[in-house]
Amino acid sequence: MFKKFPTAIAHKNCANDKMYVAPEYIISNNNNKILALKKFCPHRMYPLGTTGEHLDNLVCNLHGFAFNSDGSPINNTKNLGCSNIYLGKSGILFRDFVEPTNAVWVDDLAKETNLVYSHVTSHTSSGSWLWCYDVAIDLFHVKQGNIHPLLMQQVDTSQFKLDEGNGWGLQDNGNHGWWLFVYPFTFIEYSNPGCLAINTIVPNDKNNEYGFDWHTQYYYNRDVHADRRIVFETLDLTYSEDVKAAELQKGNYFPLKNISDPLEKHCMTFGNWITENLINV
């Protein structure tokens, strides 16, 4: 569907001790060089791990083929592919995306030097990821308080500042944190200080908008209290509510041409990005 699309894969600290299985890659810290290895054995494309798992060794459970932490083979002749990734000041591993300079979200994460991977949650939907992303990015529904009554109690959308760049949009809640959208499949939430979540949509078929999984990785500074973690992890509930709303969404307006509220600005930007980057518009 896309020529290339930006993706936030994980935070670099996911693989401090062992190799980490991200939604589409295995992150390996090989002699202080972080690699994104292909997740599937090249022999029969069997997965080498499950999202959220930490691995000591790379061994395919189907036929026992083994690989070193740099993807080179141990008992076979096939190398694991290695994707080109970009590690920026924020500490997030990106593919096909270069961080902007002088952006609030980059500077905030650069200060978070002690984040530790906590866990991942995974879900699935038969709906449209296109509509899901549009609903998630549209804070207008939060203002109405219909889809997210709990979230409405936690945020004041009148205080939000919207920022945009090449392939991303930011909803900034001042000193409390922000929501970052890296088009078209990644949503990142930060709560100041010490709470980070990276949410990744993985379509069943990138040529079809219907049917996808989504995975949310959680990272915390060790000083973050358990009560704050509970509040932060309502992200899982609110995002699930966005998915359900998207599954009910009908209409053929996309991409949005006119906005009825300033909070819909990112929806228009997202729609334009989709139009510009589709192989077949």
By the 8 A CB rule, do 36 and 43 touch? no
Architecture of the structural domain at 100-277: Alpha-Beta Complex (3.90)
Segment 35-75, tens digit of pLDDT: 999 999 999 999 999 999 999 999 999 999 999 999 999 99
pLDDT of 203 above 90: yes
- CATH code 3.30.2310 for 7-87: no
The predicted model gives 87-94 an average pLDDT of 96
Provide the mean pLDDT of the chain.
Answer: 91
DSSP 138-190: -THHHHHTSS-HHHHHH--GGG-EEEEETTEEEEE-GGGEEEEEETTTEEEEE
Question: SS3 for 32?
Answer: coil
By the 8 A CB rule, do 162 and 172 touch? yes
By the 8 A CB rule, do 114 and 221 touch? yes
Question: CA torsion angle for 141, 142, 146, 148 (degrees, to 10)?
Answer: 130
Cut 0.85: pTM above it: yes
pLDDT of residue 281: 42
pLDDT of residue 107: 96
Query: Domain coordinates of the chain in residue numbers?
Result: 7-87, 100-277
pLDDT of 273 above 60: yes
Segment 115-155, tens digit of pLDDT: 999 999 999 999 999 899 999 999 888 877 778 877 767 77
By the 8 A CB rule, do 140 and 261 touch? yes
Segment 143-186, tens digit of pLDDT: 777 788 777 677 777 788 999 999 999 999 877 899 999 999 99
pLDDT of residue 280: 56
